[in-house]
Each structure stands twice: as structure tokens, then as C-alpha cells.
Amino acid sequence: MGNSRTAQVMIKDETTPGLIVTPDLAIPITDFSWAWEDAQTESEAIIAGRRTLDDWQSNGGNVAITGSVAGEVTVRSFGTLAKHAGLSAAAPVGPTDSYYSHVLTPGTTDGRALTLQAGVEDDAGTVQPVTLGGVKIPELTVAWDEGSKVNWSASLMAQVASYGATRTLSSCATTDGSKTVTVTSATADMEGHLITHANLPTGTFIEEVISATQVRVSQAATATASSLSIVVGKALATASYASGLKLLKAHNTSVSIAGTEIEAIGGSFTLANPLETRHRSGSRFSKEIKETGELFMVTGEVQVEHSQALYRRFLAGDKFDVSIPMVKGLASITTAIHARITPGAEPSISGRARNLMTIPFKAMGDGSDADAFTMTIVSLEATI
């Protein structure tokens, strides 16, 4: 029976989006899921006397690979996730006392992607790898209660995926400059899977299983040879975690109006970076996933006690600032958001509890994107 205690998720930045690399850093998670959607294309032709489609009347369509992963913000690794959620990091400052300061502001994710590999135990007790390539994060949500740990969740979009234990195909042949590889015993489920040999560039995957003895791969072979053993799939990487992991907690979160701070009780925000798959060139698998061109949005809500000043701010349509510091020792992540209150902030009465306001907000820059949203990460990581 599958057991979540053996689960793992590892990540690594890719050099070229979609070319899977071996993940090298495990991150603590609370949740992971993924989905492989095969948009089957189906015939609309009429067959005399038939009330249902015949099985030949469908064909594999474009593949959309999505997923989600969630965890808790620690002193390591969160910046890497944020970087793939529509933020760009300036060159780090430091180190000061071994800590580096990274400033992230809204920016393009073009040319950047992650390999994310999960290990999920199956019913036989074997941890099976699920390796997603060309991963980007269209939505990243952070939620907190003042004084408590901070939770995050990210939705994922990927170009390709390899599932399950690796398989070795023998008696294979490659031809220099050709994307057709002769193999033995190829099966249709290998489409989208990594295919590895010294004669194939790193990150090559199977675009199409033409037959049991021929596959079309994503990158042309670099040499001609036969009698080769070729590996299909990606093995589960041995998990190691960054040392010194510690939970961050929300600390002194506040809403600021004209320099006056109102203490916050809790809240959440979501970075939404609209992305789309790009199916081109006869492949069922997307080229680099890119932004749709829609606005990068930061929305969220903050819980505060009923504040007349704040509600008048909403009525006046004025802007305000939200500061969300998360700390542990010298490590910290501080988010500064300039926002307007969106409708729904009306103070209310609920039983005998203190009267609260939940303030929905939407970030808006005062002259720059950085003014709308800036995240400053102080960590031991020289690179994020």
C-alpha cells in the first residue's frame, strides 16, 4: 500500500526550459499532485448504424501536464520557487554575517524553468519517480496567521514528464543528425519520457513512438552507432535537504495607512502569472511555457480588527501598504505590497468575538512594478 512517509520532492533550475536535469535539492512538502491530460482528438464522422464512436475515431491530442505542490516557508529554498512564479531576482547583496539579501520584483520567467521530481510510493512499496520538466508556476499562494508558520502552495505547468522506474532498451541505433532512433520494444506510454544516451543531447525526450522499433526524439542524435543500450525515464534522485532548515513564522505583519500601522491578524496573497502551453511543430508536448501577455497580478486579503480609518480609505479609493515579515533568527522573508482595497471589506459582527475586517486587496504600483510588490529574502543561500 502506498505510504506518504517515503514521499519526496526535489528541484533544480534547468539550463534550457524543458530539458530535464537531475534534481539536486529536496524540499519539505505537505502536498503534491500532478495530472497528465491527453486532449484526445475525436472524429465527428457519421458511421451508418452506429450510436457510439468506434475506437479508431480518436487519436492522441496535445498533452497538458499540470500539478500542485505545497509546503511551509523555511529559511531555505522558498526563493527558488518564488523566482519561477513571475518574479526576477536582482544580484544578491552580501554576504553579511554569512547571509545574502535577495530582492525579487515582478519580472519575466522567459528562459527559466525547473525540473521537479516527486517520489510517490506505489502499492508494492516501491517509490516511483515522477519527473516534470520545463516547470513554471502560474500561481503561488502564501498564507499566514500572525505568530505562526507560513504555508505556501503552488500550481505547476510542465512541458514533459517521465513516470515510473527507468527501462533499458537494448540493440538500439542512432544516426548522426537524425531524430529517429531505432529501438526494441518501445511502448506507447513512453511518449514524453526522457531518453538518455551519450549519442543524444541532454534532456532529449521521446516525442512520438512511431512503432515498437522506432521512436522520434526531441533532439537529433550526435553520432551514428548501433547495438546501443538506451535508458528511458528518469531515476529517482537520492534526497538530501539543505542543512539548518528552520520554519519561518509571520512576525509583526501590518497594514500601513499614511505611515500609521494597523496590526494584522493573518492573511494571504497570491501571485498570478498567466501562462500558456505552446504546442507547435507537430509535437504533442509544449515548447517552453510562456506568459500569455495578461497582467501579473498580486491579490489577497488581510484580517485586521475593525478600523474606521482603513474603511474610510476604501470608501475614498485610496491606496495603502501591506508588510508581511517572516523571520527566524537572522533569516527573513519580507513582502511589501502597495495595494488598493477591493470591495468586500465591510466590518461585520459575528457573535461575541471582536469585530474584524477582512480586507481584500489588489497590488498596484505607484510608478513601478517593484512598488506594487517586492519580496526581500535574507538567507544563507548565495543563489536562489
Partner 1 sequence: MILTAPDDRSFPNGPSYRRGDPVDVAELAAKLGRADVDELAADLLEQGWPLRSDGGAKPASVAAVLASVGDDPVAAQAALDAEQASGAPRKSLVRKLEVVIAGDPKTDPASAGDDTAPEGADPKES
Question: Shortest distance, CB of residue 194 to partner 1, whole angstroms?
Answer: 12
Q: Which is nearer to partner 1, 92 or 192 (CB)?
A: 92
Rule CB under 8 A: is residue 237 a binding residue for partner 1? yes
Cβ 240 to partner 1 shortest distance, Å: 4
- At 166, give phi and psi (nearest 5°): -70, 150
Q: How crowded is the C-beta side of 152, counted as CA atoms within 13 Å? A: 27
Out of 111, 244, 329, 344, name the contact with partner 1 by CB under 8 A: 244
For the chain, the first-to-last Cα distance in angstroms comes to 37
Nearer to partner 1, 243 or 350 (CB): 243
Instruction: Yes or no: say if 277 and 136 are a contact pair by the CB < 8 Å rule.
Output: no
Residue 195: CB minimum distance to partner 1, A:
16
> Is residue 203 a contact point for partner 1 (CB under 8 A)?
no
**Residues found in the chain:** 384
- Which amino acid appears at position 21 of this protein? V
- Looking at 232-240, 267-275, 285-293, 355-363, which segment touches partner 1 (CB under 8 A)? 232-240
Q: Which is nearer to partner 1, 128 or 171 (CB)?
A: 128
Task: Take residue 218 and report the three cell numbers written for it.
Answer: 526531441
266-305 in b/e form (b: 16+ CB < 10 A) is bbbbbbbbebebebeeebbbbebbbbeeeebbbbbbbbbe
Which range binds partner 1 by CB under 8 A, 19-27, 46-54, 290-298, 312-320?
19-27
Which residue lies nearer to partner 1 by CB, 19 or 357? 19
Nearest to 104 by CA among 81, 82, 75, 77: 82
| Interaction of residue 24 with partner 1, rule CB under 8 A | yes
**Residue 165 touching partner 1 (CB under 8 A):** no
CA atoms of 272 and 49, how far apart (whole Å): 49
In the set 70, 103, 241, 266, which binds partner 1 (CB under 8 A)? 241
Applying CB under 8 A, among 18, 23, 164, 267 the residue interacting with partner 1 is 23
Interface pattern 88-127 for partner 1 (x via CB under 8 A)? ---xxxxx--------------------------------
CB of 317 to partner 1, least distance (A): 40
Can you say how many angstroms the Cα of residue 198 is from the centroid of all Cα atoms in its chain? 30
- Which of 210, 231, 242, 262 lies at the binding interface for partner 1 (CB under 8 A)? 242
Q: Is 239 in the site for partner 1 (CB under 8 A)?
A: yes
CA atoms within 13 A on the CB side of 317: 0
Which amino acid is residue 206, in one-letter code?
I
Q: Tell me how far, at minimum, the Cβ of 218 lies from partner 1, in Å.
A: 20
Which stretch in 85-93, 153-161, 221-229, 302-310 sits in contact with partner 1 by CB under 8 A? Answer: 85-93
Residue 287's alpha-carbon distances to 78, 284, 325, in angstroms, are 26, 10, 37
DSSP conformation letters of 6-47: G-EEEEEE-SSTT------EE---SEEEEEEEE--EE-----
By the criterion CB under 8 A, which residues form the site for partner 1? Answer: 22-24, 91-95, 235, 237-245, 380, 382-383
